[in-house]
Amino acid sequence: MLKCVDITKRFGGLCALDSVSLELKDGEILGLVGPNGAGKTTLLNIISGFLKPDSGYVMVDGMRADRLRRFEICKKLKINRTYQIPQPLTNLSLLDNVLLATVFGNEEGQVDREYAREFSIRLLEKVGLENKLHVRSDELNAAERKFLDLARALATRPRVLLLDEIVAGLSKFETNFIIGLLRELVTKEKISVLLVEHVMDFVVTVCDRVVILHQGKKIAEGKPKEVLRHKQVVEIYLGSEKVE
Amino acid sequence: MTLETKHSLFLLIFFFLIIGLTTIGQSNPLFFYLMLYIAMGEAFNLMYGYTGYLPFGNIGFFGIGAYVVGILAFLYGIRPPISILIGAMVSMIFSLILYPTLKLKGIYFAICSFLISEAVAIAIRAAPFEITGGPTGISLVDCYNPLYSYYLMLLVMASILIIVHVIDKTEKGLALKAIKENVLIAEMSGVNSNKYKLLAWIINTTVVGICGGLTAWHIAYVNYEIAVSPVISLNSIFLPIIGGTGTVVGPVLGAFFYIPMGTIGLQFSNFFLFIYGVVVLLTVTFLGEGLLPAVQRHIIPALKKHSGE
């Protein structure tokens, strides 16, 4: 469904991504793992149109994503995302945040006003924010902001969902809630998920497959448990056994 | 407060409709200027309060509107209602040419916009006197008709009030506010930001262009001091900010608070300018968000409490 082919991105002298290729299959949850500065967020930014790759391209169902503008990526390709630092539109209420995405994130004429409102409220209920519909979103705490990000992304009815460290800093309870939600989205709504994460328990539990990035290069790919035992991966995270 | 925005706007328009028929309305320029500043304030509000772009150089479009009316009458004998329309179109086309400046953000857009208005002012001054009438300006006494220009101003003010009100009440307002807050997130929510920025920009510049033409018609005269007047420029920015931007009623409140004070006060003494300055300073210092939020937060609850007892 979503294919990244030979993506390279440089920031000045730093090579953030060095011809990285990966494929996200239909209905799959793919984990993108690696130490800080490995290029994970850069890759999400390229897929979602926040950055243009220096070379390589992103294909979604045979369409070039890297040539489209952001609102087209959201609307036509049906890709949406959450952010490492949640980005609520703080001058709007929670409901308006989600309503905006519901109305503009779907093709015009597809949603009428009354339905859009109901749909937005249902989404906020789904992420447990139904008591704060009319609260301005700058009054939310860190966890609630993440849930609002998620609700806003879901309001555009994405087929590919990109999650940037969605469970970092969440409690055990909240993490389990996200796990349940993701599984439901994948089975019921056939959404494919690409997630960047440092919390390994979460990755192992929820991901079908994992890609490991290190210094902009893909170094391993496969089932979570196998990949995380991979020698080079262990070295990156824990250092090598040899002490010189 | 059960008075809805819709009703208060209706009352406002009705007020000007009636005042225009009375002798006070016809003899006192105050009411025309009130409408002028409400219209220009709302146009500014749409750009600044909703979309987050500070159109510091709106006076350039005002000047274009005014001089198009002047020049058309001077050279070709084309009379106001039509020439004002042409002025609005020229202003709109000019704003389309300046569309790339919307790529700038924050203070850079404001500076760029200001410099463009300066360029317009210089161009008007440098133009051949046979066209612009030079320092003596262009007299429009032949087509002077204060009643017509008053009611055309009313029509323009009513239109922009309704436009801003409708935008505020629909998803378009949400899109503009989202662009103001974070354009990347707005786009990722599916908003075609360029389209909505352009919408706000064109409405703003066209209305300001019309206001320029109307002012020229109403006072039957165009020269540099009027067309690119710093007073009009500053007032059109200042009043909506003082009234409270981002709401429909804010700029109306700003205009009603300051314009009568200025025009009436100045008839008595030049010293009034000093008091005017102090009042402005105090409102900016203590009511930073504008008059409307202050009224909503302090006065309305106080009234409710009072009537409840």
First to last CA, chain B: 16
Question: Which residues in chain A are contacts of B182 at CB distance < 8 A?
Answer: 87, 89
Give the contacts of A21 (CB within 8 A, at least 6 positions apart): A3, A4, A5, A6, A7, A56, A218
A89 and B177: CB-CB below 8 Å?
yes
CB pairs under 8 A between A and B: 68
Q: What average pLDDT values come out for chain B (309 residues) when binned by 10 residues?
A: 74 86 80 92 93 91 93 86 92 94 90 93 89 84 86 93 92 93 93 94 95 92 87 86 86 86 70 76 76 76 71
pLDDT of res. B1: 42
CA–CA dist B49, B160 (Å, integer): 15
Using CB atoms, which residue from B178, B180, B246 is nearest to A100?
B178
CA–CA dist A138, A159 (Å, integer): 28
Mind giving me the DSSP string for B50-93? IT----TTHHHHHHHHHHHHHHIIIII---HHHHHHHHHHHHHH
A74 and B193: CB-CB below 8 Å?
no
Does residue A145 sit at the B interface (CB-CB below 8 Å)?
no
Topology of domain A1-78+182-193+201-244 in CATH is Rossmann fold (3.40.50)
- The predicted-structure confidence for A78-89, as pLDDT tens digits, reads as follows 999 999 999 999
Between A79 and A110, the higher pLDDT residue = A79
Specify whether the backbone of A89 is left (phi greater than 0), alpha (psi in -120 to 50) or beta: beta
Question: Which residues in chain B are contacts of A99 at CB distance < 8 A?
Answer: 171, 174
Distance in Å, alpha carbon of B4 to nearest chain A alpha carbon: 19
Listed in order, the ranges of chain A carrying CATH 3.40.50.300 are 1-78+182-193+201-244
Q: Is the pLDDT of residue A62 over 70?
A: yes
Using CB atoms, which residue from B174, B184, B190 is nearest to A156?
B190
pLDDT of res. A22: 92
> Which sign, positive or negative, has the C-alpha torsion B80, B86, B92, B97?
negative
Give the contacts of B145 (CB within 8 A, at least 6 positions apart): B80, B217
B116 part of a folded domain:
yes
Average pLDDT rounded to a whole number, residues A209-220: 89
Radius of gyration, CA atoms only, chain A: 18
- The distance of Cα B91 from the centroid of its chain, to the nearest Å, equals 14
Q: Measuring CA to CA, which residue among A172, A7, A142, A6 is closest to residue A82?
A: A142
A-chain residue closest to B193, CA distance: A71
HSE value, Cβ hemisphere, 13 Å, CA-based, for A30: 25
Does residue A103 sit at the B interface (CB-CB below 8 Å)?
yes
Q: Measuring CA to CA, which residue among A233, A224, A228, A187 is closest to residue A206?
A: A224
What band does A152 get if pLDDT is binned at 50, 70 and 90?
A: very high
Q: Find out whether B256 and B291 touch, Cβ atoms under 8 Å.
A: no
B145 part of a folded domain:
yes
Q: Measuring CA to CA, which residue among A78, A137, A65, A143 is closest to residue A106?
A: A78
Q: Is the pLDDT of residue A23 over 60?
A: yes
Mind giving me the DSSP string for B3-54? --HHHHHHHHHHHHHHHTTSHHHHH-THHHHHHHHHHHHHHHHIIIIIT---
B254 part of a folded domain:
no
Question: Which residues in chain A are contacts of B186 at CB distance < 8 A?
Answer: 89, 100
pLDDT of res. B280: 75
Domain assignment of residue B159, given as a range: 5-229
Q: Is the pLDDT of residue A97 over 60?
A: yes
C-alpha separations of A4 from A23, A28, A56, B18 in Å: 6, 15, 8, 67
Specify whether the backbone of B2 is left (phi greater than 0), alpha (psi in -120 to 50) or beta: alpha
B172 part of a folded domain:
yes
CA–CA dist B144, B164 (Å, integer): 30
Question: Which residues in chain A are contacts of B181 at CB distance < 8 A?
Answer: 89-92
B283 part of a folded domain:
no
CA–CA dist B309, B306 (Å, integer): 6
Residue A204 sits at the vertex; the CA angle it makes with A202 and A208, to the nearest 5 degrees, is 115
pLDDT of res. B309: 53
pLDDT of res. A241: 62
Which residues in B have their CB inside 8 Å of a CB on A? 171, 174-175, 177-178, 180-182, 184-193, 246
Average pLDDT rounded to a whole number, residues A38-43: 91
Distance in Å, alpha carbon of A47 to nearest chain B alpha carbon: 12
B174 and A152: CB-CB below 8 Å?
no
First to last CA, chain A: 46
Average pLDDT rounded to a whole number, residues A126-133: 90
| Structural domain count of chain B | 1
Question: Which residues in chain B are contacts of A106 at CB distance < 8 A?
Answer: 190
B191 and A91: CB-CB below 8 Å?
no
B14 part of a folded domain:
yes
pLDDT of res. A101: 93
Q: A163 - beta bridge partners?
A: A195
Using CB atoms, which residue from B181, B187, B190 is nearest to A91?
B181
CA–CA dist A189, A23 (Å, integer): 20
